[in-house]
Chain A
Amino acid sequence: KAGVTQTPRYLIKTRGQQVTLSCSPISGHRSVSWYQQTPGQGLQFLFEYFSETQRNKGNFPGRFSGRQFSNSRSEMNVSTLELGDSALYLCASSPGRSGGVGTDTQYFGPGTRLTVL
């Protein structure tokens, strides 16, 4: 089985712009979760999508949004970029049968490194 893929792998944007990141889960997985990783804050949960619906959400502002398509692929959008949004953005997929995020094994993608100038 192919693993979780994320595109693009690297991205440079300027403050005020918006960005869309993509995540393709493992075939058959219906849950996709998104995370932000920075040296200062570590790994933080953004949100989880399951069957095209946002099922769980972390504590990020509304500038961070996402969606999931019928084939389980997910996109994450960040609007009005700030310098502090520079981070590694990881997505993870899981079967999602058990309920919420973290209740079954998650497989992470390689991440998208976003730099905001």
Chain B
Amino acid sequence: EDKVVQSPLSLVVHEGDTVTLNCSYEVTNFRSLLWYKQEKKAPTFLFMLTSSGIEKKSGRLSSILDKKELFSILNITATQTGDSAIYLCAVTYSGGSNYKLTFGKGTLLTVNP
């Protein structure tokens, strides 16, 4: 069965720390891997990764994909309390003419002042 696994499930850090969130996947016909941040309600898009080894960066957040080892990491440097959220990883894959998208269970990040 296709699946997406995120680790750790939860993480508590202090402001200023650097964190690394992991997402591994087992799907056939991989298309893309996406990272989202979910605070109160709706997820907000962070990154879409399709190629191995190319780092995507946005401010203090960065992410990279390894298609050989089937995982991605999301790094957050100099964490702030506003980074507290659930971080979701999702993988898109195709089966014939149909695309599917599967989410991991998420990593709950708590940043304490």
Instruction: Give the complex CA separation of A43 and B88 in angstroms.
Output: 9
**Interface size classification for chain A:** 20 to 34
Q: Does B58 contact A (CB under 8 A)?
A: no
Which chain B residue shows the least CB distance to A113? B41
The smallest beta-carbon distance between A94 and chain B, in angstroms, is 9
The smallest beta-carbon distance between B7 and chain A, in angstroms, is 14
Name the contact of A42 in the complex, choosing from B32, B45, B101, B106 (C-beta under 8 A). Answer: B106
- A99: chain B residues at CB < 8 Å are 99
Decide if B41 touches A111 in the complex (CB within 8 Å).
Answer: yes
What would be 14 A-B contacts, judged by CB atoms less than 8 Å apart? Answer: A42-B88, A42-B105, A43-B103, A43-B106, A45-B100, A45-B102, A58-B101, A88-B41, A90-B43, A102-B92, A103-B99, A106-B45, A108-B44, A109-B42
- A90: chain B residues at CB < 8 Å are 42-43
- Interface of B, secondary structure class, is strand
The smallest beta-carbon distance between A11 and chain B, in angstroms, is 15
- A42: chain B residues at CB < 8 Å are 88, 103-106
Q: Does A18 contact B (CB under 8 A)?
A: no
Decide if A108 touches B92 in the complex (CB within 8 Å).
Answer: no
Q: A43-B106, A100-B31, A109-B42 are in contact. List 5 more A-B contacts (CB 8 A).
A: A42-B106, A45-B101, A102-B101, A106-B45, A110-B41
Please count how many residues in chain B sit with their CB below 8 Å of the partner chain's CB atoms.
Answer: 23
Instruction: Give the complex CA separation of A102 and B100 in angstroms.
Output: 8
- B99: chain A residues at CB < 8 Å are 48, 55-56, 99-103
Given contacts A108-B42, A108-B44, contact A56 B104 (CB under 8 A): no
Decide if A103 touches B92 in the complex (CB within 8 Å).
Answer: yes
The 3 closest A-B pairs by CB, nearest first: A100-B99, A102-B92, A108-B42
The smallest beta-carbon distance between A17 and chain B, in angstroms, is 25
